[in-house]
Amino acid sequence: MAINRLAPSSPEPAAARPSPLAPGGSRERLAELYAEYAHFVAWFASRLLTRQDEVDDIVQEVFLIAATNLDNLSDPPKTRGWLKTVTLRRAGRFLRWKKVRARFGIAAGMQGAEEWIASPDASPEDRAALREVLSVLDKLAVDLRIAWTLRHLHKESLEDIAQLVGCSLATVKRRIAAAEARVHQELADD
């Protein structure tokens, strides 16, 4: 993970920046938060991304962000929702950059993605079908992919998706419909 990516967007003097691991229980609070929510964040990210190393990176980034917001993360339902939103935004940003890198020939493959996404008792046919769906999702615009994934893999309500992605209900419906049309078209062509 590059150090540059972790730098704040606007430079601040080191003394003015809050230290997430300063004495006073912050380190312990972050450890507790990680122990309680890391699995959830990884699970949520795994439905948006295709590779285990991508998921691991997003989990690290989410908890780096959480480390600077520990004072605001004391209510469990709000904490879970906040982590879900941050995970979604980081994954979306990652997917956008992945598309940019792919345009320049710097794309990483999704080899074996179905192996860690599929259930252990999935048949070879199920794994092949999952591989096809993941291939189609990789071609979709990120906004369409996220809306479709939240609806069909996470079983989120349309209202919750609109809130998570920060757009209107009508926009969410259009994105999901466009993604579904593309998925059906791509899978029908095979």
Query: What's the pLDDT at 4?
Result: 35
More confident residue, 38 or 96: 38
Rounded CA-CA distance 190/188 in Å is 5
- The enclosing H or E element of 51 equals none
For the chain, give me the number of helices (H) and strands (E)? 8, 0
SS (H, E, C) the chain: CCHHHHCCCCCCCCCCCCCCCCCCCHHHHHHHHHHHHHHHHHHHHHCCCCCHHHHHHHHHHHHHHHHCCHHHCCCHHHHHHHHHHHHHHHHHHHHHHHHHHHHCCCCCCCCCHHHHHCCCCCCHHHHHHHHHHHHHHHHCCHHHHHHHHHHHCCCCCHHHHHHHHCCCHHHHHHHHHHHHHHHHHHHHHC
Query: What's the pLDDT at 18?
Result: 45
For range 170-188, the mean pLDDT: 91
Domains (range + CATH), the chain = 23-105 (1.10.1740.10), 122-190 (1.10.10.10)
pTM of the model: 0.62
Computed over every residue of the chain, the mean pLDDT equals 77
Q: What is the pLDDT of residues 36-82, one digit of tens each?
A: 999 999 998 988 887 888 899 999 999 999 988 887 787 878 888 89
